[in-house]
Copies of this chain bind each other. A is one copy, B any other.
Amino acid sequence: MTQTQNAPARVNARLGYNNYGKAEVNLMKVKRDTERHEIRELQVRVAMTGDFAAAHEQGDNTDLIATDTVRNTIYGLAKEGFNGSPEEFGKELVAHFVKTGPRVTGGFMEFTEYLWERIQVGGQGHDHSFVRQMPQRTGRVESEDGQTFKVTSGIENLYVLKTTESGWANYLLNERFTTLPETHERLMASYVTAKWEYNEGEVDYDAVWGRVYRQIQETFTDHYSPSLQNTLFLMGQAVLTMCPEISRIYFRMPNKHHLQYNLQRFGLENNLEIFHVDPEPYGLMEGWVERA
Protein backbone atom coordinates (compact mmCIF):
# COMPACT_ATOMS: atom_id res chain seq x y z
CA MET A 1 0.00 0.00 0.00
CA THR A 2 3.08 2.21 0.13
CA GLN A 3 3.76 4.28 -2.93
CA THR A 4 6.91 3.81 -4.92
CA GLN A 5 9.40 6.36 -3.65
CA ASN A 6 10.34 8.09 -6.83
CA ALA A 7 6.86 8.20 -8.25
CA PRO A 8 5.85 11.66 -9.45
CA ALA A 9 3.27 13.57 -7.41
CA ARG A 10 -0.24 12.66 -8.44
CA VAL A 11 -1.92 15.12 -10.76
CA ASN A 12 -5.22 16.67 -9.86
CA ALA A 13 -7.94 14.61 -11.44
CA ARG A 14 -11.71 14.62 -11.35
CA LEU A 15 -14.50 12.27 -12.27
CA GLY A 16 -16.22 12.79 -15.61
CA TYR A 17 -19.33 11.03 -16.96
CA ASN A 18 -19.90 7.78 -15.10
CA ASN A 19 -22.52 5.21 -14.20
CA TYR A 20 -22.75 1.88 -12.45
CA GLY A 21 -25.20 -0.96 -11.99
CA LYS A 22 -25.73 -4.62 -12.79
CA ALA A 23 -25.37 -6.34 -16.14
CA GLU A 24 -26.43 -9.73 -17.53
CA VAL A 25 -29.25 -10.25 -15.11
CA ASN A 26 -31.10 -13.18 -16.67
CA LEU A 27 -34.78 -13.11 -15.84
CA MET A 28 -37.65 -15.34 -16.87
CA LYS A 29 -41.23 -14.52 -15.96
CA VAL A 30 -43.96 -17.14 -16.29
CA LYS A 31 -47.60 -16.15 -16.40
CA ARG A 32 -49.52 -19.19 -15.23
CA ASP A 33 -52.96 -17.87 -14.28
CA THR A 34 -54.59 -20.06 -16.92
CA GLU A 35 -53.51 -23.42 -18.33
CA ARG A 36 -52.06 -21.60 -21.30
CA HIS A 37 -48.84 -20.35 -19.79
CA GLU A 38 -46.90 -17.41 -21.17
CA ILE A 39 -43.19 -16.77 -20.78
CA ARG A 40 -40.84 -13.86 -21.32
CA GLU A 41 -37.10 -14.03 -20.94
CA LEU A 42 -34.89 -10.96 -20.63
CA GLN A 43 -31.24 -10.29 -20.14
CA VAL A 44 -31.22 -6.96 -18.33
CA ARG A 45 -28.64 -4.29 -17.59
CA VAL A 46 -29.49 -1.42 -15.27
CA ALA A 47 -27.10 1.49 -14.77
CA MET A 48 -27.58 4.46 -12.48
CA THR A 49 -26.26 7.98 -12.92
CA GLY A 50 -26.02 10.67 -10.24
CA ASP A 51 -23.57 12.14 -7.79
CA PHE A 52 -21.05 9.37 -7.26
CA ALA A 53 -17.92 11.52 -7.01
CA ALA A 54 -17.28 10.77 -3.32
CA ALA A 55 -17.20 7.04 -3.98
CA HIS A 56 -14.76 7.43 -6.83
CA GLU A 57 -12.54 10.16 -5.49
CA GLN A 58 -12.57 9.54 -1.73
CA GLY A 59 -13.70 5.91 -1.52
CA ASP A 60 -16.79 7.04 0.42
CA ASN A 61 -19.70 4.70 -0.34
CA THR A 62 -22.30 6.46 1.79
CA ASP A 63 -25.79 6.20 0.31
CA LEU A 64 -24.69 4.10 -2.65
CA ILE A 65 -27.01 1.34 -3.83
CA ALA A 66 -25.13 -1.96 -4.02
CA THR A 67 -25.19 -3.65 -7.41
CA ASP A 68 -26.42 -6.76 -5.60
CA THR A 69 -29.44 -4.69 -4.61
CA VAL A 70 -29.95 -3.78 -8.25
CA ARG A 71 -30.19 -7.47 -9.07
CA ASN A 72 -32.61 -8.16 -6.23
CA THR A 73 -34.74 -5.25 -7.36
CA ILE A 74 -34.96 -6.43 -10.95
CA TYR A 75 -36.31 -9.80 -9.83
CA GLY A 76 -38.41 -8.25 -7.08
CA LEU A 77 -40.14 -5.66 -9.24
CA ALA A 78 -40.67 -8.21 -12.03
CA LYS A 79 -43.07 -10.07 -9.75
CA GLU A 80 -45.76 -7.41 -9.72
CA GLY A 81 -44.44 -5.05 -12.33
CA PHE A 82 -43.39 -6.78 -15.52
CA ASN A 83 -46.83 -7.35 -17.02
CA GLY A 84 -46.50 -5.56 -20.32
CA SER A 85 -43.56 -4.82 -22.57
CA PRO A 86 -39.92 -4.87 -21.46
CA GLU A 87 -39.78 -1.17 -22.32
CA GLU A 88 -42.50 -0.37 -19.75
CA PHE A 89 -40.68 -2.54 -17.22
CA GLY A 90 -37.55 -0.54 -17.94
CA LYS A 91 -39.32 2.70 -17.14
CA GLU A 92 -40.46 1.27 -13.83
CA LEU A 93 -36.96 0.12 -12.95
CA VAL A 94 -35.24 3.40 -13.72
CA ALA A 95 -37.95 5.38 -11.89
CA HIS A 96 -37.53 3.09 -8.90
CA PHE A 97 -33.79 3.66 -8.59
CA VAL A 98 -34.14 7.41 -8.88
CA LYS A 99 -36.71 7.32 -6.09
CA THR A 100 -34.71 4.92 -3.91
CA GLY A 101 -31.09 6.00 -4.27
CA PRO A 102 -30.31 9.20 -2.40
CA ARG A 103 -27.55 9.96 -4.88
CA VAL A 104 -29.26 8.62 -8.02
CA THR A 105 -30.69 11.18 -10.45
CA GLY A 106 -31.15 9.11 -13.59
CA GLY A 107 -30.09 5.99 -15.40
CA PHE A 108 -30.91 3.50 -18.07
CA MET A 109 -32.16 -0.03 -18.50
CA GLU A 110 -31.10 -2.10 -21.50
CA PHE A 111 -32.48 -5.48 -22.40
CA THR A 112 -32.19 -8.32 -24.84
CA GLU A 113 -35.34 -10.40 -25.06
CA TYR A 114 -34.90 -14.01 -26.13
CA LEU A 115 -37.94 -15.10 -28.12
CA TRP A 116 -39.78 -18.39 -27.62
CA GLU A 117 -42.55 -19.94 -29.70
CA ARG A 118 -44.96 -22.63 -28.64
CA ILE A 119 -43.99 -26.12 -29.77
CA GLN A 120 -46.39 -27.31 -32.46
CA VAL A 121 -48.27 -30.52 -31.65
CA GLY A 122 -50.88 -31.67 -34.13
CA GLY A 123 -50.92 -28.25 -35.73
CA GLN A 124 -51.54 -26.46 -32.42
CA GLY A 125 -49.19 -24.43 -30.26
CA HIS A 126 -48.70 -26.29 -26.99
CA ASP A 127 -49.99 -24.83 -23.71
CA HIS A 128 -46.77 -24.94 -21.74
CA SER A 129 -43.91 -26.10 -24.00
CA PHE A 130 -41.75 -23.70 -25.99
CA VAL A 131 -38.85 -23.62 -28.42
CA ARG A 132 -36.31 -20.79 -28.69
CA GLN A 133 -36.22 -18.65 -31.84
CA MET A 134 -33.18 -17.04 -33.43
CA PRO A 135 -34.00 -13.32 -33.66
CA GLN A 136 -33.69 -11.19 -30.55
CA ARG A 137 -35.54 -8.12 -29.42
CA THR A 138 -33.55 -5.33 -27.82
CA GLY A 139 -34.32 -2.06 -26.15
CA ARG A 140 -33.05 0.75 -24.00
CA VAL A 141 -34.95 3.11 -21.68
CA GLU A 142 -33.10 6.14 -20.43
CA SER A 143 -34.04 8.97 -18.11
CA GLU A 144 -32.31 11.97 -16.62
CA ASP A 145 -34.92 12.57 -13.97
CA GLY A 146 -36.71 9.27 -13.38
CA GLN A 147 -39.91 10.71 -14.82
CA THR A 148 -39.44 11.32 -18.52
CA PHE A 149 -37.97 8.60 -20.66
CA LYS A 150 -36.25 8.17 -23.97
CA VAL A 151 -37.07 4.77 -25.40
CA THR A 152 -35.23 2.93 -28.17
CA SER A 153 -36.30 -0.50 -29.41
CA GLY A 154 -34.49 -2.87 -31.72
CA ILE A 155 -33.93 -6.16 -33.47
CA GLU A 156 -30.82 -8.34 -33.58
CA ASN A 157 -29.84 -11.66 -35.14
CA LEU A 158 -32.09 -11.30 -38.17
CA TYR A 159 -30.16 -12.97 -40.98
CA VAL A 160 -31.72 -12.55 -44.43
CA LEU A 161 -30.57 -13.59 -47.90
CA LYS A 162 -31.82 -13.28 -51.45
CA THR A 163 -30.54 -15.27 -54.40
CA THR A 164 -31.40 -12.77 -57.13
CA GLU A 165 -32.70 -9.21 -57.64
CA SER A 166 -29.57 -7.46 -56.42
CA GLY A 167 -26.42 -6.00 -57.93
CA TRP A 168 -23.61 -3.49 -57.49
CA ALA A 169 -22.60 -1.28 -60.41
CA ASN A 170 -21.83 2.28 -61.52
CA TYR A 171 -19.45 2.93 -58.65
CA LEU A 172 -16.03 4.59 -58.87
CA LEU A 173 -14.13 2.31 -61.24
CA ASN A 174 -11.01 4.06 -62.42
CA GLU A 175 -9.11 4.06 -59.20
CA ARG A 176 -5.77 2.49 -58.30
CA PHE A 177 -7.05 -0.03 -55.77
CA THR A 178 -10.33 -0.92 -57.50
CA THR A 179 -10.41 -4.42 -58.99
CA LEU A 180 -13.99 -5.55 -58.35
CA PRO A 181 -16.09 -6.00 -61.52
CA GLU A 182 -19.62 -4.65 -61.73
CA THR A 183 -22.52 -7.04 -61.40
CA HIS A 184 -26.29 -6.96 -61.89
CA GLU A 185 -26.91 -10.40 -60.48
CA ARG A 186 -25.52 -11.69 -57.21
CA LEU A 187 -26.45 -13.11 -53.83
CA MET A 188 -27.16 -10.52 -51.19
CA ALA A 189 -27.25 -11.32 -47.49
CA SER A 190 -27.18 -9.35 -44.28
CA TYR A 191 -27.28 -9.89 -40.57
CA VAL A 192 -29.62 -7.00 -39.79
CA THR A 193 -29.43 -4.96 -36.60
CA ALA A 194 -32.11 -2.29 -36.27
CA LYS A 195 -33.09 0.20 -33.60
CA TRP A 196 -35.66 2.94 -33.61
CA GLU A 197 -36.89 5.92 -31.64
CA TYR A 198 -40.45 7.00 -30.97
CA ASN A 199 -42.57 10.08 -31.40
CA GLU A 200 -44.23 11.44 -28.28
CA GLY A 201 -47.38 9.73 -27.08
CA GLU A 202 -48.55 6.31 -25.99
CA VAL A 203 -46.90 3.36 -27.68
CA ASP A 204 -47.79 -0.34 -27.74
CA TYR A 205 -44.17 -1.47 -27.87
CA ASP A 206 -44.99 -5.16 -28.38
CA ALA A 207 -47.26 -4.44 -31.35
CA VAL A 208 -44.80 -2.06 -32.99
CA TRP A 209 -41.98 -4.56 -32.68
CA GLY A 210 -43.97 -7.20 -34.52
CA ARG A 211 -44.82 -4.79 -37.32
CA VAL A 212 -41.21 -3.69 -37.78
CA TYR A 213 -39.97 -7.25 -37.68
CA ARG A 214 -42.33 -8.31 -40.48
CA GLN A 215 -41.88 -5.14 -42.54
CA ILE A 216 -38.10 -5.37 -42.66
CA GLN A 217 -38.35 -8.87 -44.08
CA GLU A 218 -41.06 -7.96 -46.56
CA THR A 219 -39.25 -4.93 -47.92
CA PHE A 220 -36.09 -6.99 -48.24
CA THR A 221 -37.93 -9.14 -50.79
CA ASP A 222 -39.83 -6.54 -52.81
CA HIS A 223 -37.33 -4.68 -54.99
CA TYR A 224 -34.25 -5.00 -57.16
CA SER A 225 -31.45 -3.84 -54.87
CA PRO A 226 -28.72 -1.76 -56.52
CA SER A 227 -26.90 -1.60 -53.17
CA LEU A 228 -27.35 -2.57 -49.55
CA GLN A 229 -27.54 1.17 -48.89
CA ASN A 230 -30.65 1.52 -51.03
CA THR A 231 -32.29 -1.49 -49.40
CA LEU A 232 -31.46 -0.01 -46.00
CA PHE A 233 -33.22 3.19 -46.97
CA LEU A 234 -36.27 1.43 -48.44
CA MET A 235 -36.65 -0.72 -45.34
CA GLY A 236 -36.47 2.38 -43.18
CA GLN A 237 -39.01 4.21 -45.32
CA ALA A 238 -41.40 1.25 -45.23
CA VAL A 239 -41.14 1.03 -41.44
CA LEU A 240 -41.84 4.76 -41.07
CA THR A 241 -44.85 4.27 -43.37
CA MET A 242 -46.32 1.36 -41.41
CA CYS A 243 -45.47 2.68 -37.93
CA PRO A 244 -46.50 6.29 -37.30
CA GLU A 245 -45.27 5.84 -33.72
CA ILE A 246 -41.67 5.71 -34.93
CA SER A 247 -39.73 8.92 -35.47
CA ARG A 248 -36.58 7.45 -37.02
CA ILE A 249 -34.87 4.12 -37.49
CA TYR A 250 -31.26 3.00 -37.66
CA PHE A 251 -29.81 -0.01 -39.44
CA ARG A 252 -26.45 -1.66 -39.16
CA MET A 253 -26.14 -3.99 -42.12
CA PRO A 254 -23.05 -6.03 -42.82
CA ASN A 255 -22.84 -7.22 -46.40
CA LYS A 256 -22.26 -10.94 -45.82
CA HIS A 257 -20.37 -11.71 -48.99
CA HIS A 258 -21.11 -14.87 -50.93
CA LEU A 259 -18.28 -15.18 -53.44
CA GLN A 260 -18.84 -17.24 -56.57
CA TYR A 261 -16.18 -19.91 -56.35
CA ASN A 262 -13.88 -20.04 -59.37
CA LEU A 263 -14.70 -23.41 -60.95
CA GLN A 264 -13.44 -22.51 -64.40
CA ARG A 265 -10.00 -23.75 -63.36
CA PHE A 266 -11.52 -27.23 -63.16
CA GLY A 267 -13.47 -26.96 -66.43
CA LEU A 268 -16.79 -26.27 -64.71
CA GLU A 269 -19.28 -23.49 -65.17
CA ASN A 270 -20.57 -21.61 -62.14
CA ASN A 271 -23.76 -19.75 -62.95
CA LEU A 272 -24.36 -18.33 -59.49
CA GLU A 273 -24.67 -21.80 -58.05
CA ILE A 274 -21.61 -22.50 -55.92
CA PHE A 275 -20.55 -19.88 -53.40
CA HIS A 276 -17.95 -19.43 -50.71
CA VAL A 277 -19.70 -17.88 -47.72
CA ASP A 278 -16.97 -15.51 -46.63
CA PRO A 279 -16.95 -14.71 -42.90
CA GLU A 280 -14.70 -11.69 -43.26
CA PRO A 281 -14.08 -8.99 -44.22
CA TYR A 282 -17.53 -7.66 -44.82
CA GLY A 283 -18.88 -4.40 -46.12
CA LEU A 284 -20.58 -2.61 -43.26
CA MET A 285 -23.29 0.00 -43.69
CA GLU A 286 -24.79 2.13 -40.95
CA GLY A 287 -27.52 4.66 -41.42
CA TRP A 288 -30.51 6.42 -39.95
CA VAL A 289 -33.73 6.93 -41.91
CA GLU A 290 -35.80 9.84 -40.70
CA ARG A 291 -39.09 11.54 -41.49
CA ALA A 292 -38.54 14.34 -44.01
Contact surface of A with B, Cβ cutoff 8 Å: 1-4, 7-32, 37, 39, 41, 45, 47, 52, 55-69, 71-73, 75-76, 78-80, 100-102, 116, 119-122, 126, 128-134, 158-165, 168-172, 175-180, 187, 214, 217-218, 220-227, 229-230, 232-233, 236-238, 240-242, 248, 250, 254-255, 258, 261, 263, 265-266, 268-292
Contact = CB atoms under 8 A, between A and B. Distances in A.
A16 B221 contact: no
A289 B17 CA distance: 8
A243 to B, nearest CB: 10
A31 to B, nearest CB: 8
Contacts of A119: 160, 217-218, 220-221
Given A1-B224, A280-B279, A171 B66 contact: yes
Nearest to A96: B177
Contact of A161 (B7, B130, B232): B130
A230 to B, nearest CB: 4
Contacts of A132: 134, 159-161
A63 B287 CA distance: 19
Q: How many copies does the complex hold?
A: 4
A46 B60 CA distance: 43
Contact of A26 (B100, B130, B281): B281
Contact of A20 (B4, B7, B163, B284): B284
A176 to B, nearest CB: 6
A165 B287 contact: no
26 contacts: A10-B238, A11-B240, A15-B290, A16-B288, A20-B286, A20-B287, A21-B284, A23-B281, A24-B279, A27-B276, A29-B275, A31-B273, A32-B271, A41-B277, A56-B232, A63-B172, A65-B171, A68-B178, A68-B180, A71-B281, A73-B177, A75-B261, A100-B175, A120-B217, A128-B164, A133-B134
10 smallest CB-CB distances across A and B, nearest first, come from: A16-B288, A18-B287, A67-B283, A132-B159, A12-B292, A134-B134, A24-B280, A26-B277, A59-B226, A129-B221
Nearest to A9: B241
Contacts of A223: 1
Contacts of A67: 255, 282-284
B229 A289 contact: no
Contacts of A158: 131
Nearest to A75: B261
A235 to B, nearest CB: 10
Contacts of A37: 163-164
Contacts of A274: 27-29, 75, 78-79
Contacts of A4: 122
Given A11-B237, A72-B266, 17 more contacts: A3-B222, A7-B241, A10-B241, A13-B236, A14-B292, A16-B290, A22-B284, A23-B282, A28-B187, A29-B274, A59-B227, A69-B179, A69-B180, A80-B268, A131-B158, A131-B217, A134-B134
